[in-house]
Amino acid sequence: MTGRDHLAEKLIDRLERDEPAALGLLFDHYRATLRHEIEQDLAADPRLNGRFDASDVVQEVFLDSQQQIAYFLANRTRISFLGWLRGLARERRLKFVREHLDAQCRTVRKQQPLPDDSPNQPEDSGSSPSDAAARAEECQRVRIALDQLKSDERDVIRLRIHEAKTNREVAELLGLTPEAVAKRLERAMQRLKEVMGPTSGGTTKGADA
């Protein structure tokens, strides 16, 4: 164990002894690493590049860690503190993406419809307004259902389905084995179906929304 890891373990032990001030010290221990990774993520995503500042994301991740520290302490033997912070950062990034896309949808809804004979009228996609409304409603139902899942369940669904990562890639990010990732995904998808209820038709369509 490196000196850096040893210090982190000592701070985690203090957290378990109900010393909340240790969380700030522990977060500062990894702040520079986390900020650098967040900067890279934001720069690589055209939906977020230039719209959000890494410092703001880091601050949000710290607030999230305060609210969810009990989960980490209950699972500290299965995931490193930095790995957990990375998961929180992914959650925050995905939230920013959703907010960005929702803002785009609101902008589209405010646009005036074009006349049928306008040369700028888009080609018919083959789907009716009712079909589009049904898809939007289904996506909203999935988002609401995802928000009711545990953070580790949301993590594995979004990483495997939304971000299309392999079990091995997810395992490296979450500090698990590929086999454990597969089992967690199976449980998470089953839980998602249960939360959505029978009206979902027993499918997980839109789970990557």
Residues 52 and 85 in one domain: yes
Question: Residue 70: exposed, middle, or buried by beta-carbon count in 10 A (0-12, 13-18, 19+)?
Answer: exposed
Q: Is residue 93 part of a domain?
A: yes
Residues 88 and 23 in one domain: yes
Q: Please say whether the dihedral angle defined by the alpha carbons of residues 149, 152, 156 and 158, taken in this order, is positive or negative.
A: positive
Q: pTM value?
A: 0.49
Residues 75 and 156 in one domain: no
Instruction: State residue 32's pLDDT score.
Output: 93
Q: Which of 178, 139, 180, 141 is nearest to 162 (CA)?
A: 139
Residues 10 and 92 in one domain: yes
Residues 139 and 200 in one domain: yes
Residues 5 and 100 in one domain: yes
Residues 105 and 137 in one domain: no
**CATH number of the domain within which 40 lies:** 1.10.1740.10
Residues 11 and 89 in one domain: yes
Residues 81 and 144 in one domain: no
Tell me how many domains the chain contains. 2
Q: Is residue 35 part of a domain?
A: yes
* Encoded tokens for 122: 């888009």
**CATH number of the domain within which 192 lies:** 1.10.10.10
Residues 105 and 154 in one domain: no
The domain boundary, picked from 109, 143, 178, lies at: 109
Instruction: State residue 147's pLDDT score.
Output: 78
Left, alpha or beta for 203 (phi > 0: left; psi -120 to 50: alpha)?
beta
Residues 83 and 141 in one domain: no
Residues 146 and 63 in one domain: no
Angle between helices 54-74 and 21-44 (to 10 degrees): 130
Instruction: State residue 30's pLDDT score.
Output: 92
Q: What string of pLDDT tens digits covers the 209 residues of the chain?
A: 444 578 889 999 999 999 989 999 999 999 999 999 888 888 877 666 677 788 888 998 999 999 999 989 988 888 889 989 988 888 887 777 777 655 555 544 444 444 444 444 444 445 566 666 666 666 677 777 777 888 788 888 878 887 778 888 888 777 888 888 889 988 888 888 888 876 544 444 444 33
Q: Is residue 114 part of a domain?
A: no
The parent domain of residue 88 ranges over 1-109
Instruction: State residue 14's pLDDT score.
Output: 93
